[in-house]
Structure formats: C-alpha cells, structure tokens
C-alpha cells in the first residue's frame, strides 16, 4: 500500500470503529499529520475523555495510553506499538517507592505523569512538567518525595525554598543527551535566538535557558513570541510541529542526539493495524484505575 492508501484506510477504520487518534508532539511527521488531537500526554488524555469516541488510539508511549485509560476507563485504549515504553517511567518501581515512603513517612508523594499507573495509584498527587512547581507548593507537607524524574524534581527545588524535595534517581535518557555545550554551540551560530528548554534536561542546561517550558508551553511560546529564531532543547520530533505552525520562524534543535527511539516506533502502518485488529489494548485493574484517577484529578484542579 502507498502512504496515501494507508492514510485513507486509517480514515475508513477510524469511522468504522468510532475512534479518535491522539498524537504526542514527539511523534514522526506523518503520524502527526493524521492526528485528531496533537499535544502533550495529559492534554491529549483529557481531550479524549470529552469525546464520544469508543476507541482511543494513542500514538505515544505506554504510560500515556495508561493515563488515557485511567481518565476514560469505559473506552477501548490502543497503543499501536506494543514495545513503545518509557525508560524514565520504569525508573521508579512500587518496591522502591514504598521504601522511600517508609524512610520518609511524613512526606507527600508527588508523581510526574511520566510514570506507570501503579505508581500514580500509590501517590498523593500527580504533576506535569508545566505545573510541578504549583503542585508541590500547594501541599501542606514540607517534605516531598518526587518521582521519577530527578531533573524535574531539582528544577522544582530551585523554585521553592520552603520545601524539602527528596529525589528519585530517574531521568529521561533522551533529554540528558542535551548538554550545556550543545546550547552554547548553537548560540554561537544563532546569537539572536532564544533558548527554550524542557525541565527534564540536566540542571546546567536549564540554568542557561531563556524559558523553561513543557512541550505544550513550547508550542504556545513559539506561536505568541515575536522572536524569529528559537533553539529548542527537547526531543526533536516537536520541531516539525513548530515549523509547520510557525513557517516564518526558525527552529533549531539543541542537539541531533535528542531522539527518543520509543517515540519513533509508531508509524502509519501500525496505526492502521491497531485499528484493524484493536491492538494493543491497554488493560488496568479497576482498583488501580480508581486510585490513580484520584491523584490525577487532584492535579487537574491545579492546572
């Protein structure tokens, strides 16, 4: 089948299944182009929950599809690539979290949405990269266990002197590839460019940013700024969307190494197969969904 034929078959199957296609900002261009909704993981899940679709096809990684299932338990949620996981999410296990809770019994547990359903279910509240500071600040406890990402947790600690942040040694393997030298090198070629950085990057990269933003924040910044050149320190997939939506502006990836192989596992063929065979379906025990939904809903109130 040609690319156009596959796209037409996806449209046909989508109508047949009463499906909606959610696509994360880091996906490959041709998958972004078939999205019903394009954005960051939580925003996509929230939008899907408001639709009348019976089936959600989540073009992203496993924890994102799990979040969609938690917020829409009555819908069939599909992950087109069975092996699209997230190393960061896997860097905190329930056993490890329980050890931290035992070690710091008075601490609240704040879990980044880039985490598995079981970890969300055993947390006090979730957060996004955009609202992590506000979430931690909202808590009565002065001690906070922050999982799984040490870099986002460290960024929160630099913004809040009133809280003791206990970090888990997790990190995004894609974002840590971006170095301070990468940024300085790009600035030497584009001295007028503004630097926007995802808080999953290493602290020394965050420190030299003009703006520290989630992927959704990057999309909004690019649209609203008068700046014509922007160095983007996050996974390279977002560059396609930024250029498409802002054709008169220039966007430069901070590092060519910032590519998430898991995000690139989804393609048009496996989206089509997913709709044909209703695979791979996300299934989460009811009790986990109920507990995880509480921590997500607490977070959503702060958005």
Residue 303 within any structural domain of the chain: no
Residue 18 within any structural domain of the chain: yes
Rounded Cα gap, residues 252 and 271, in angstroms: 29
Rounded Cα gap, residues 67 and 102, in angstroms: 26
Q: Which of 171, 191, 213 is the last residue of a domain?
A: 171
Of residues 88, 292, 50, 52, the one with CA closest to residue 172: 88
Give residue 161's pLDDT.
87
Residue 198 within any structural domain of the chain: yes
Q: Say whether pLDDT at 303 is over 90.
A: no
Give residue 45's pLDDT.
80
Give residue 149's pLDDT.
98
Residue 112 DSSP class: E
Question: Cα angle at 138 between 142 and 147, to 5 degrees?
Answer: 65
Reported as a single tens digit per residue, the pLDDT across 76-127 is 999 999 999 999 999 999 999 999 999 999 999 999 999 999 999 999 999 9
Question: Cα angle at 67 between 128 and 8, to 5 degrees?
Answer: 110
55 phi and psi, to 5 degrees? -125, 135
Give residue 197's pLDDT.
98
Reported confidence tier of residue 302, pLDDT bands at 50, 70, 90: confident
- Element (DSSP H or E) covering residue 232: strand 229-233
Count of CB atoms situated within 10 Å of the CB of 79: 28
Residue 139 belongs to what domain range?
Answer: 89-171
Q: Say whether pLDDT at 269 is over 90.
A: yes
Residue 230 within any structural domain of the chain: yes
Looking at the structure, tell me whether residues 106 and 142 fall in a common domain.
Answer: yes
Could you tell me if 231 and 252 are in contact, meaning their C-beta atoms sit under 8 angstroms apart? yes
Q: How far is CA 189 from the centre of its chain?
A: 30
Burial class (CB in 10 A: 0-12, 13-18, 19+), 103: exposed
Could you tell me if 146 and 182 are in contact, meaning their C-beta atoms sit under 8 angstroms apart? no
Looking at the structure, tell me whether residues 62 and 81 fall in a common domain.
Answer: yes
Q: At what angle do helices 41-49 and 62-71 cross, to 10 degrees?
A: 30
Give residue 54's pLDDT.
97
Q: Say whether pLDDT at 253 is over 90.
A: yes
Residue 292 within any structural domain of the chain: no
Residue in the block written with tokens 């502006």: 249
Looking at the structure, tell me whether residues 73 and 122 fall in a common domain.
Answer: no
Residue 103 within any structural domain of the chain: yes
Domain count, the chain: 3
Rounded Cα gap, residues 112 and 114, in angstroms: 5
Rounded Cα gap, residues 257 and 174, in angstroms: 8
Give residue 17's pLDDT.
98
Reported confidence tier of residue 286, pLDDT bands at 50, 70, 90: very high
Count the helix, strand and coil residues of the chain and give each as a percent rounded to the nearest 5: 45, 15, 40
Residue 291 within any structural domain of the chain: no
Q: Which of 129, 154, 171 is the last residue of a domain?
A: 171
CATH number for the domain spanning 223: value is: 3.40.50.10800
Strand partners, 111: 126, 147
The residue length of the chain stands at 303
Reported as a single tens digit per residue, the pLDDT across 184-240 is 999 999 999 999 999 999 999 999 999 999 999 999 999 999 999 999 999 999 999
Q: Which of 253, 277, 296 is the last residue of a domain?
A: 253
Give residue 275's pLDDT.
98
Residue 294 within any structural domain of the chain: no
Could you tell me if 138 and 129 are in contact, meaning their C-beta atoms sit under 8 angstroms apart? no
Q: Say whether pLDDT at 134 is over 90.
A: yes
Reported as a single tens digit per residue, the pLDDT across 31-82 is 999 999 999 988 888 888 888 999 999 999 999 999 999 999 999 999 999 9
């Amino acid at each position: 089948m040609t690319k156009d034929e596959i796209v037409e078959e996806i449209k046909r199957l989508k109508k047949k299944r009463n499906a909606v296609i959610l696509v994360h900002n880091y996906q490959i261009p041709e998958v972004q182009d078939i999205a019903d909704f394009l954005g960051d993981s939580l925003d996509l899940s929230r939008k899907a929950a408001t639709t009348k679709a019976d089936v959600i096809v989540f073009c992203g990684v496993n924890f994102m599809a799990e979040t969609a299932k938690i917020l829409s338990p009555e819908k069939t949620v599909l992950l087109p690539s069975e092996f699209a996981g997230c190393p960061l999410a896997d860097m905190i296990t329930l056993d490890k979290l329980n050890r931290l809770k035992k070690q710091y019994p008075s601490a609240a547990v704040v879990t980044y949405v880039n985490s598995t359903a079981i970890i969300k279910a055993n947390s006090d509240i979730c957060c996004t990269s955009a609202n992590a500071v506000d979430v931690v600040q909202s808590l009565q406890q002065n001690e906070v266990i922050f999982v799984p990402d040490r870099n986002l947790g460290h960024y929160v600690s630099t913004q809040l002197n009133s809280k003791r942040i206990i970090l888990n040694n997790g990190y995004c393997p894609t974002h840590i590839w971006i170095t301070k030298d990468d940024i300085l090198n790009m600035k030497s070629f584009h001295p007028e460019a503004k630097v926007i950085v995802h808080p999953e990057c290493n602290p020394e990269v965050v420190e030299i940013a003009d703006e520290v933003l989630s992927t959704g924040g990057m999309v909004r910044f690019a649209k609203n700024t008068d700046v014509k050149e922007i160095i983007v320190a996050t996974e390279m997939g977002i560059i396609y969307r930024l250029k498409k939506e802002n054709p008169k502006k220039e966007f430069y990836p901070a590092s060519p190494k910032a590519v998430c192989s898991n995000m690139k596992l989804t393609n048009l063929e496996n989206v089509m197969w997913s709709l044909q065979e209703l695979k791979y379906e996300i299934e989460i025990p009811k009790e986990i969904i109920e507990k995880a939904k509480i921590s997500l809903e607490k977070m959503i109130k702060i958005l």
